[in-house]
Amino acid sequence: MFIQIIRWYYRLIKKSPLDFEMVSYWKTKQSVEAKVTKSLDGSTVMYMEGEKYPFPGFPRGHILFGPLSKLKHEIKNQIFNESWRKLEEGAPKEKIINDIKKIILEGIKVKDTSKIGSREYQEGEDCFEIMKYDMLPVRAMSPAVREIHRAWIKVSPQTSKLRDILCFILQEDDAYRWRVLWLAEWFGWFIKWKPVKSFDYALSMLEHGEVVSDMKERARLLRRIVILTLEDKEISRQFIALFKEIDWKKVRLSKGDKYHFRGKFFRCDLKYIEY
């Protein structure tokens, strides 16, 4: 009801996606000069010539298209695609969940030895070992990623490898990070009492936020497998504890985040206007 009231108001004043401020250098230039520095809270930011807000973080191309690309590829294939295949074939949910837990506990190993850039990969290599020296110190991460990292340490220190992998992805890939922060806008008032239901609803909205059909399919895949794993009592217990520990006011899109996020193929302001 609240969302409908907001949308009604924006329709009344004839607000459109083009009326929201957004990164604009791409309209006239291929690139601009930028300066990487630290914000007052210690996080890494990049000031771009002519832009109103600094870019949160610093896109490191050799990481994004190197070890991070390999890590995401292996996670997508081994956990999400493989689990979806097993579900479609009618495999027991318990077995699928146990297979996912085994992969997480033993670490994400390289199965696809395809070369990325100049780096050659060996089958069985630990993806965490490949990328661990490329991780930024926690103090240099964006405030949202720092908050997730802090809460995770307090709730589940025994899963530190999984924590570092997820924080590495969120810090280095702004498209993933902004989508996670965007989800927080859809949690609703019952987040503290029914976190799994709240998270499921937010994931259902992610598909509507996507513009590209391939990304819509990825959103459906993500939701199906994540919600499946939350049927496990131990995973659900730790997830709920983490959800309650995180200060979600710190894990939301800032004005600067939205300013740059609107330059992506995504309906950033779906909560306020209908596209």
64 contacts 161 by C-beta, under 8 angstroms? no
**Average of pLDDT values for 117-131?**
86
Q: What is the mean pLDDT of the chain?
A: 91
**Single-letter code of the amino acid located at 224:** R
Reported pTM: 0.91
Q: Give dist(CA 6, CA 92) in Å, integer.
A: 43
Per-residue pLDDT at 255 exceeds 90: yes
pLDDT for the residue numbered 262: 94
Say what the pLDDT of residue 9 is. Answer: 72
Q: Pairing state of beta strands 34-38 and 55-56?
A: unpaired
pLDDT top residue among 132 and 182: 182
- Give the tokens for residue 41: 């809270």
Instruction: Tell me what pLDDT residue 15 has.
Output: 77
- Give the model's confidence band at 2: pLDDT under 50 very low, under 70 low, under 90 confident, else very high: low
Average pLDDT score over residue span 105-133: 87
- The pLDDT tens digits for 94-112 are 999 999 999 988 889 999 9
**Per residue in 209-247, pLDDT tens?**
999 999 999 999 999 999 999 999 999 999 999 999 999
Confidence (pLDDT) at 145: 96
Is the pLDDT at 161 greater than 80? The verdict is yes
pLDDT score of 38:
92
Cβ(169)–Cβ(148) below 8 Å: no
CA distance 132 to 167: 11
DSSP states of the chain: -HHHHHHHHHHHTT--GGGS----GGGT-S---EEEEE-TTS-EEEEETT-SSPEES---HHHHTTHHHHHHHHHIIIIIIHHHHHHHTT--HHHHHHHHHHHHHH--B------BTTB---TT-BHHHHHGGGPPPGGGS-HHHHHHHHHHHHH-GGGHHHHHHHHHHHHH-HHHHHHHHHHGGGS-TTTTT-HHHHHHHHHHHHHHHB-SHHHHHHHHHHHHHHHHHTTSHHHHHHHHHHHHHS-TTSSS--HHHHHHHTTSSB-TTTTTS--
Q: Please name the residue that has the structure tokens 């919600």.
A: 227
* CB neighbour list of residue 253: distance below 8 Å, 6 or more residues apart: 178, 181, 182, 184, 185, 261, 268
pLDDT for res 259: 96
